[in-house]
């Protein structure tokens, strides 16, 4: 082997070894509404950086509780701003930013059921209305705000079925266990089936979803790289395609 070729080969091997040595894993707690978008983003992130991801999905409230009890996460992608802010105030997190602004939709698997969402809710001509648990899921809290805004919270309370998170709420509707339900627009943005009513933002407070770097992950290059990637053009394109807004 000639000296120049030998040098190039050695350099390539060294570069590969360096890349592998720098590749790390980031453990991410992700709000359930962001599941589909995050799966797509994680795949692209891994391909672009060489880092790996280990992701847990759930309601924001339950993930927050797990973090308080020492769950080994590096990054938290919440469905609200309150829990990340609490973690920052407690010294358990840093570097908060809004990665997505969610929208709420009333959805039914029946393509003919929803023509005017507000009128349908007013009529009460259904047996079950699914919402996420408002105590742990911000989209569930937003759903209650909508019902209160329409003056229907008390009347429709007996018809409510609550999912542990927005993913389970979606399943209640998809499987017919509830005729309709309030879901994240992102869950149905790329799904043409069923019928929907995108709820006007005037009926609920903005669902600003914040991300934070968790305590102990400051020296993890994969964690910082993921947060940087979430704010880049490639991730933002995915986020908006799933029906979210971004700052």
74 and 34 inside one domain: yes
pTM to 2 decimals?
0.87
Euclidean distance between CA atoms 229 and 24, whole angstroms = 15
Task: Please indicate, yes or no, whether residues 83 and 29 belong to a single structural domain of this protein.
Answer: yes
Q: Note whether 112 and 192 are same-domain residues.
A: yes
Pair (149, 225) in one structural domain: no
Residue 155 included in any domain? yes
Domain-located, residue 17: no
Domain tally for the chain?
2
Share of the chain above pLDDT 70, in %: 91
Q: Are residues 178 and 234 in the same domain?
A: no
Q: Across the chain, how many H-helices and E-strands are there?
A: 11, 10
Span 144-154, pLDDT tens digits: 999 999 999 99
Whether 64 is covered by a domain: the verdict is yes
Give the Å distances, CA to CA, from 24 to 28, 133, 201, 231, 233: 13, 35, 40, 20, 22
Q: List the domain range (segments joined by +) for residue 232.
A: 25-102+207-242
**pLDDT at res. 53:** 99
For residue 9, being part of any structural domain is answered with: no
My answer on whether 94 and 110 are in the same domain is: no
- pLDDT band with cut points at 50, 70 and 90 for residue 191: confident
**Has 101 been labeled as part of a binding site?**
no
CATH code for the domain in which residue 230 is found: 3.40.190.10
Residue 50 resides in a domain = yes
Cα dihedral: 39, 235, 243, 86 (round 10): 80
Q: Are residues 87 and 113 in the same domain?
A: no
Same domain, 194 and 110: yes
Determine, yes or no, domain membership for 12.
Answer: no
Same-domain status, 223 and 236: yes
What's the pLDDT at 185?
Answer: 96
Does 183 fall in a domain?
Answer: yes
Angle at 223 between CA 211 and CA 134, to 5 degrees: 30
- pLDDT confidence band for 11 (50 / 70 / 90): very low
60 assigned to a ligand binding site: yes
Interval 222-236: pLDDT, tens: 999 999 999 999 999
The answer on 138 and 80 residing in a single domain is no
Is the domain of 226 the same as that of 141? no
Q: Is 227 found in the same domain as 173? A: no
Chain segment 127-179, per-residue pLDDT in tens: 999 999 999 999 999 999 999 999 999 999 999 999 999 999 999 999 999 99
Give the pLDDT score at 192. 76
């Amino acid at each position: 082997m000639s000296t120049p070729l030998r040098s190039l080969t050695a350099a390539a091997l060294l570069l590969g070894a360096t890349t592998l040595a720098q590749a790390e894993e980031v453990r991410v707690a992700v709000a359930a509404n962001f599941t589909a978008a995050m799966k797509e983003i994680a795949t692209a992130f891994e391909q672009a950086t060489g880092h790996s991801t280990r992701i847990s999905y759930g309601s924001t409230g339950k993930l927050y509780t797990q973090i308080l009890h020492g769950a080994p996460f590096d990054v938290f992608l919440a469905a609200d701003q309150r829990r990340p802010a609490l973690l920052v105030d407690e010294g358990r997190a840093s570097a908060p930013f809004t990665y997505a602004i969610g929208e709420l939709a009333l959805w039914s698997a029946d393509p003919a059921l929803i023509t005017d969402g507000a009128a349908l809710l007013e009529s009460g001509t259904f047996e079950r209305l699914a919402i996420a648990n408002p105590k742990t899921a911000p989209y569930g809290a937003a759903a209650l705000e909508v019902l209160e805004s329409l003056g229907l919270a008390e009347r429709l309370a007996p018809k409510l079925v609550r999912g542990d998170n927005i993913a389970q709420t979606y399943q209640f509707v998809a499987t017919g266990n509830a005729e309709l339900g309030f879901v994240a627009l992102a869950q149905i943005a790329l799904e043409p089936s069923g019928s929907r009513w995108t709820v006007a933002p005037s009926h609920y407070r903005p669902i600003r979803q914040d991300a934070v770097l968790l305590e102990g992950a400051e020296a993890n290059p994969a964690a910082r790289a993921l947060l940087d990637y979430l704010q880049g053009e490639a991730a933002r394109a995915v986020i908006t395609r799933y029906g979210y807004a971004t700052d």
